[in-house]
Chain A
Amino acid sequence: AQTVTQSQPEMSVQEAETVTLSCTYDTSENNYYLFWYKQPPSRQMILVIRQEAYKQQNATENRFSVNFQKAAKSFSLKISDSQLGDTAMYFCAFMKHKGGSEKLVFGKGTKLTVNP
């Protein structure tokens, strides 16, 4: 079974600074996908970024980028130029690639607070 570990229950950062959230996972699969989801106080789950395991290039979405280390089974999220609206819970998630849609396995989350 796959497991996802987020070792930082809470983090804080000053507005406009950069912050990195950690995620490690355990799997015997070779093909899979990794995701970061954001859950603001509204509780809506919002996809931030996704990474295909077969791609060596790290995914980037505007101010959000990942550092994907397949051998180390590490998938960290970097948020640059932090904004107050980035304050939320952030969940790392794993999905097997099975040729179709599969269930997501989530970590316990990191609560990020951006301070003015």
Chain B
Amino acid sequence: NAGVMQNPRHLVRRRGQEARLRCSPMKGHSHVYWYRQLPEEGLKFMVYLQKENIIDESGMPKERFSAEFPKEGPSILRIQQVVRGDSAAYFCASSPLLGQGPGEQYFGPGTRLTVT
């Protein structure tokens, strides 16, 4: 059973360009979370999605950032008009659908975004 896949692993963008980060959850997982890790910091929650629904986007910046998890295909985190402050590692985690208690979150290897 393959783990959580993220691509690309490294992404370099110039200021003003768009960045698209992809996350394929583990097989059978229907919950996806995105976290951002700035240098020397812990991970910060951005958004929680289920298939075709955004459940919690309280950690997402109001502008330039969007996320989706379509019925088919990977979850996408899109950052428009990137700025240097967007340089960070972006982690995706997935968990299964459970009736009781939290599903353990399994993390992908992360995408390191560098804005030049």
A107: which B residues are within 8 A, CB to CB? 42
Is A84 positioned at the interface, with any CB of B under 8 Å from its CB?
A: no
Is A95 positioned at the interface, with any CB of B under 8 Å from its CB?
A: yes
Task: Answer whether A101 and B109 are a contact pair too, CB < 8 Å, given A106-B42, A106-B44, A107-B42.
Answer: no
Of the candidates A37, A42, A104, A108, the one whose C-beta lies within 8 Å of that of B109 is A42
Bound together, the chains give a CA A65 to CA B27 distance in angstroms of: 30
Contact A108 B100 (CB under 8 A): no
Is B89 positioned at the interface, with any CB of A under 8 Å from its CB?
A: yes
List residues of B whose CB falls within 8 A of some A CB.
Answer: 31, 33, 35, 40-45, 48, 56, 59, 89, 91, 93, 95, 98, 100-107, 109-110, 112
Bound together, the chains give a CA A71 to CA B107 distance in angstroms of: 30
Contact A101 B105 (CB under 8 A): yes
List residues of A whose CB falls within 8 A of some B CB.
Answer: 4, 33, 37, 42-47, 50, 52, 91, 95, 97-109
Task: Answer whether A109 and B42 are a contact pair too, CB < 8 Å, given A43-B89, A43-B109, A103-B48.
Answer: yes
